[in-house]
Amino acid sequence: MTDFQTQTVRDALRDAMAEEMRQDDAVFLMGEEVAQYQGAYKVSRGLLDEFGDKRVIDTPITEMGFAGLGVGAGFMGLRPIVEFMTFNFSMQAIDQIINSAAKTLYMSGGQMGCPIVFRGPNGVASRVGAQHSQCFASWYAHCPGLKVAVPYSAGDAKALLKSAIRDPNPVVFLENEIMYGQEFDDVATDPDYILPFGKALIRREGTDVTLVAYSIMVGKAMEAAEQLAEKGISAEVIDLRTIRPLDIETIITSVQKTNRCVAIEEGWPVAGMGSEISAVIMEEAFDYLDAPVKRVTGKDVPMPYAENLEKLAVPQVEDIIAGAEEVCYVGA
Amino acid sequence: MSKTLLNMTKKLPKLKASPKEPDQALLEKFYHDMVLIRRFEEKAGQLYGMGHIGGFCHLYIGQEAVVVGMQAALKPQDSVITAYRDHGHMLACDMDPKGVMAELTGRIDGYSKGKGGSMHMFSREKNFFGGHGIVGAQIPLGAGMAFAHKYREDGGCTVASMGDGAANQGQVYEAFNMAKLWNLPIIFVIENNEYSMGTAVHRHGATTELYMRGTGHGIPGLQIDGMDVLKVYEASQIARAYVEEGHGPILLEMKTYRYRGHSMSDPATYRTKDEVDAYRSEQDPILQFKDYLVKKKKAKEETLKALDKDVKTLMKEVADFALESPLPGEEELYTDILIEEVA
C-alpha cells in the first residue's frame, strides 16, 4: 500500500529527480542556474549537494547549445534532464528538440533512441509580458517522436516526471510556474510509484458536461465544476496528464455519457489542443453530441503586461462556467 | 610539424604521444578507402541521374583524404558525427557500402530501412552518429557525445565535422564555449571546401582563416592541407593525442575542395571550370597519393591496380544490391517513431 504525503509541486519534482538519480547513474541534470543557484525556481534545491557537479551542471545561457549537447549525450545512452529556465527559451532550442531528439529514431530506422527529458515551467506567468508568458503545449504535442506531459497535481508531477526520466524516448515535460508553490496531498512516498503516459484521470465525476483540461487549468475546471454544481449542472472533469499520447478513449467515453464538452487550455486558440480535442470528438463521437464542443482558451493576442489586460487574456473560472452553460443551453 | 601544418593559432603543449608513420598496410588502406569513396560517389551520381536516388544527395568527391586520414587516427571507442555530406564518413567508419547505397535508393536494407536517405544514416556498431541535415546542429550533438565519453570515462573522443558554411552558425560557437568550459574530449573539424553551397568562403566569412574560429574560446586551431592524406593523418594523430591527454577540444581546418556541385541539382555556375580543373589535375588527393606511393616505392603499381579492380567489382555488387533490395514494407511507415516501453 503506497503512502501519500503533502508536498508542493516544486518539492515533488525535486524528489522525482533525486530518486531517479539515486537509482540510475546515467541520469544527470543540466540547465541554467540548476546547480549553485538551486534552480531559478528552486526546483533543483539540494541536488548539487547530493550528486555533485558531475551530475548537476550549470550551463551558460545557451539554450540551443545545451539542448543539442543533451541530445548528443542521450544518443550515447546517458539520460539527461535538460531544464529550461522557462519554456519560452526553448524556442531557441526547438530545432534540437524536434529535428534532433524527436526525429532521429525514425530517420535511423530505430537505431538512435534518445532518452532525454526537457523540463521547466511553461504557460502563463504573472506580469512578465509577452515573451515570458506563453503555453507551448500544442506546439510540442504536434510532433511525432515526442511525448508531452502536462501534470496538474504535485503527486502527478512526481510520478509522471519519474516515468519521463525512465522513458527511452524524448519527453517534453511542461510544468507551471504559478503552481510550483501549491501543495497537494497526493504525493507518493514509494520511489517505485510512477504513472503511465496516455492515461487521463477523471478528477470529478459528472453527468451533464465534460470539462477537459490539463496543467493549471485543471484547478480552474475543478472550481468551475464546484460552482456549476451549485447551479444544478453536474460537470465531469478530465485531467489529461499527458497530451502526447492523448487519452482519447477517456474523453470519448465521458462525452458519450455527458453529450457535451468544453475543452480548456491556457494557450492560443488557433491549432490548439482544444481544436484537436474537438476534432477528435467530432470524428469519434459526433452522434453523441447534444451541442457543439466549446473551446475556452487564452485570447488570440500576445500576453499583455497590464494587470487588467492580462486577466482578460487568460481563461478564468467564469469563462469555463460560461462555456459549460453555453453547451448546456442554460440561459440561452 | 611545420611541414605538416599550413598554419596554427598557437604552439601546442608538449604531447606524450607523437604521431606514427603509416605502415605498408595502412598506406594501402588509405589508397583503397579513398578510391572506394570516389567510386562509391561516382556510382551514387550515376544512380541519381537514372532516377534511382531521390531528393538531396551531396557527393564527397575531392574531399576523400580528409575522412580517410582522420579515421585512421581514431580509436575503437571514439565516435563520429557530421552533417549531410556524409557518405565518405560512413565508408571511412567501415560501414557497409551496400547498406549505405541501399539507403540512398530508399530500400529496406539501407542503414535506416530507407527512412532516412542520404543525409540521415547511422551505425551504433561503428560509432557513427549521423548524418544530420540541419547545418551546424551536429556540433552541439557532437559536444554531447564527447560529454558522454567524459562522463563515462571510457577514454573515447568525438570527431564532429562541419563545412565552412556551418562555421558561421551560432550554435557552433555555443558548442565551442561549452566544450572548452568543460574540457570535453572533442576534435572539431571544419572541412573547408571553399563554398558554402554556392557562396565562396570570402563572401560568407568575415574572416576566412577558419582554423582561428575557436580562438575566442581558447580552442587551438590547426590548418591542414586536406588534399594530402598523410598530412591529415599526422595532424589528426596530434589532435587525438592532445584531446586524450586532457587538454580539451581542438579545431582542425581541412583545406579541401569538392569537385561536384553542392548537391545533385547544383550546376556550380558560381565558379570557373578552370578552377575545378586545376584542383583535379594538381591537387587530387588520390592521384597525388598514388604518385607518392609509386615514386617512393611504397607500393607497386600492380598492387594499386588490383585494389582499383577490387573496388570496381565491389561497386557493381553494391549497385546491384541497392537496386535489388525491396522497398520498405508499408508497415514501416508507423514503426520507429517511439521506442515501445517494456511493461
**And the C-alpha cell for A39?**
534552480
Beta-bridge partner residues of B80: B128, B159
Biggest CA pair distance of chain A: 62
- Which CATH number is A4-188 given? 3.40.50.970
Yes or no: say if B110 and B64 are a contact pair by the CB < 8 Å rule: no
pLDDT of residue B217: 97
Q: What is the pLDDT of residues B14-25, one digit of tens each?
A: 999 999 999 999
**A78 to B130: CB separation less than 8 angstroms, yes or no:** no
* Band of residue B166 on the pLDDT scale cut at 50, 70, 90: very high
Question: Is residue A63 flagged as an active site residue?
Answer: yes
Question: Which is catalytic among the residues A32, A63, A83, A310?
Answer: A63
DSSP state of A99: I
Taking CA–CA distances from B154, the nearest residue in chain A reads A76
**Best residue in A55, A56, A63, A69 for a mutation probing chain B (most B CBs within 10 Å):** A69
Q: For B255-294, how does the pLDDT look when each residue is reduced to its tens digit (9 = 90+)? A: 999 999 999 889 899 999 999 999 999 999 999 999 999 9
Minimal Cβ distance to A95: which of B81, B137, B152: B137
* Residue B143 at interface with chain A, using a CB cutoff of 8 Å: yes
Identify the pLDDT of residue B4. 81
Q: A177 in contact with B at a CB cutoff of 8 Å? A: no
User: What are the Cα distances from residue B325, in Å, to A148, B43, B90?
Assistant: 37, 17, 20
**Which residues of chain B from 71 to 90 reach within 8 Å of chain A, CB to CB?**
79, 81
Interchain contact, A76 vs B145, CB within 8 Å: yes
Instruction: Please tell me the CATH code under which domain A201-327 is placed.
Output: 3.40.50.920
Please tell me the distance in Å from A26's CA to the nearest CA on chain B: 9
Is a pLDDT exceeding 60 seen at residue B1? no
- What pLDDT digit, counting tens, does each position of A251-285 carry? 999 999 999 999 999 999 999 999 999 999 999 99
3-state secondary structure chain B: CCCCEEEECCCCCCCCCCCCCCCHHHHHHHHHHHHHHHHHHHHHHHHHHCCCCCCCCCCCCCCHHHHHHHHHCCCCCCEEECCCCCHHHHHHCCCCHHHHHHHHCCCCCCCCCCCCCCCCCCECCCCECCCCCCCCCHHHHHHHHHHHHHHHCCCCCEEEEEECCHHHCHHHHHHHHHHHHCCCCEEEEEEECCEECCEEHHHHCCCCCHHHCCHHHCCCEEEEECCCHHHHHHHHHHHHHHHHCCCCCEEEEEECCCCCCCCCCCCCCCCCHHHHHHHHHHCCHHHHHHHHHHHCCCCCHHHHHHHHHHHHHHHHHHHHHHHHCCCCCHHHHHCCCCCCCCC
Q: Residue B342's pLDDT is what? A: 53
Chain B partners within 8 Å of A168 (Cβ): 339, 341
Return d(Cα B20, Cα B18) in angstroms, integer: 6
Is residue A66 less than 8 Å (CB to CB) from chain B? yes
Q: Where are the domains of chain A?
A: 4-188, 201-327
Identify the residue among B78, B107, B122, B126 best suited for mutation to test binding to A, counting A beta carbons within 10 A and taking the highest. B122
Q: What is the pLDDT of residue B343?
A: 47
* Residue A21 C-beta-side C-alpha neighbours within 13 Å: 22
Supply the ipTM of this predicted assembly: 0.96
Half-sphere exposure of A81 (CA within 13 A, CB side): 34
- Give yes or no for residue A221 having a pLDDT over 80: yes
CA neighbours closer than 13 Å in the CB half-sphere of residue A280: 19
Q: For residue range B90-149, list pLDDT tens digits in order.
A: 999 999 999 999 999 999 999 999 999 999 999 999 999 999 999 999 999 999 999 999
Range B213-238 average pLDDT: 98
Mark yes or no for CB contact B116/A107 under 8 Å.
yes
Establish whether domains A4-188 and A201-327 are of one fold.
yes
CB-based contact B143 A65, cutoff 8 Å: yes
Rounded Cα distance between B10 and A47, Å, is 40
What residues pair up with B187 in beta bridges, in sequence order? Answer: B159, B250
Please report residues of A whose CB lies closer than 8 A to that of B90: none
pLDDT greater at residue B342 or residue B278:
B278
The pairing of strands A27-31 and B221-225 is unpaired
- The nearest CA of chain A is from the CA of B339 a distance in Å of 6
Distance from CA of A66 to the nearest CA of B (A): 7
Question: Of A150, A129, A153, A171, nearest to A265 (Cα)?
Answer: A150
A76 interfaces chain B, CB cutoff of 8 Å: yes
pLDDT at A2: 84
Q: Confidence band (pLDDT; 50, 70, 90) for A197?
A: very high
Contact B341/A168, CB-based, under 8 Å?
A: yes
- The C-alpha cell at B238 is 596530434
- Please state, rounded to an integer, the average pLDDT across all residues of chain B: 96
The fraction of chain A above a pLDDT of 90, given in percent, is 99
Contact criterion met (CB < 8 Å) for B336 and A106: yes
pLDDT band with cut points at 50, 70 and 90 for residue A331: confident
Catalytic pick from A32, A132, A236, A325?
Answer: A132
* pLDDT tens-digit readout, A93-119: 999 999 999 999 999 999 999 999 999
How close B305 comes to chain A (CA, Å)? 36
Which residue is listed with cell 539501407?
A: B110
Mean predicted confidence (pLDDT) in B198-221: 96
Residue A154 and residue A193: Cα distance in Å, rounded?
Answer: 13
Phi-psi region of A293 (alpha: psi -120 to 50; beta: other; left: phi over 0): beta
Inspect the interface and report whether the beta carbons of B171 and A68 lie closer than 8 Å: yes
Q: How confident is the model at residue B341 (pLDDT cuts 50, 70, 90)?
A: low
Interface of A with B in 39-58 (CB under 8 A): 54
Task: Tell the residue number behind the cell numbers 541554467, with chain if given.
Answer: A32
Please report residues of B whose CB lies closer than 8 A to that of A106: 115, 336-337
Going from N- to C-terminal start, the domains of chain B cover 5-325
If DSSP codes are grouped into helix, strand and coil, which group holds residue A117? strand
Catalytic residue list contains A142: no
Percent of chain B clearing pLDDT 70 (strictly above): 99
Position B16 scores a pLDDT of 96
SS3 A331: coil
Q: Does A64 touch chain B (CB under 8 A)?
A: yes
Q: Give, to the nearest 10 degrees, the angle between helix B24-49 and helix B301-324.
A: 40
**Could you tell me if A175 and A13 are in contact, meaning their C-beta atoms sit under 8 angstroms apart?**
yes
Chain A positions touching B142 (Cβ under 8 A) are: 72
Mean pLDDT, chain A, as a whole number? 97
A111 vs B112: CB contact, 8 Å cut-off?
A: yes
Instruction: Assign domain B5-325 to its CATH superfamily.
Output: Thiamin diphosphate (ThDP)-binding fold, Pyr/PP domains (3.40.50.970)
Q: Which of B93, B337, B340, B342 to mutate to test the interface with A (most CBs of A within 10 A)?
A: B337
Cell numbers 501543495: residue:
A183
How far B182 CA lies from chain A's nearest CA (Å)?
10
User: Does the beta carbon of B177 lie under 8 angstroms from any beta carbon of chain A?
Assistant: yes
pLDDT digits (tens, 9 = 90+) for A61-71: 999 999 999 99
- Residues B319-337 have pLDDT tens digits of 999 999 999 999 999 999 9
- For residue B2, is pLDDT > 60? no
SS3 A218: helix
At A332, the pLDDT band (50, 70, 90 cuts) reads low
Of residues B44, B142, B128, B144, the one with CA closest to residue B89: B128
- Average of per-residue pLDDT across A144-148: 98
Mean pLDDT of B194-202: 95
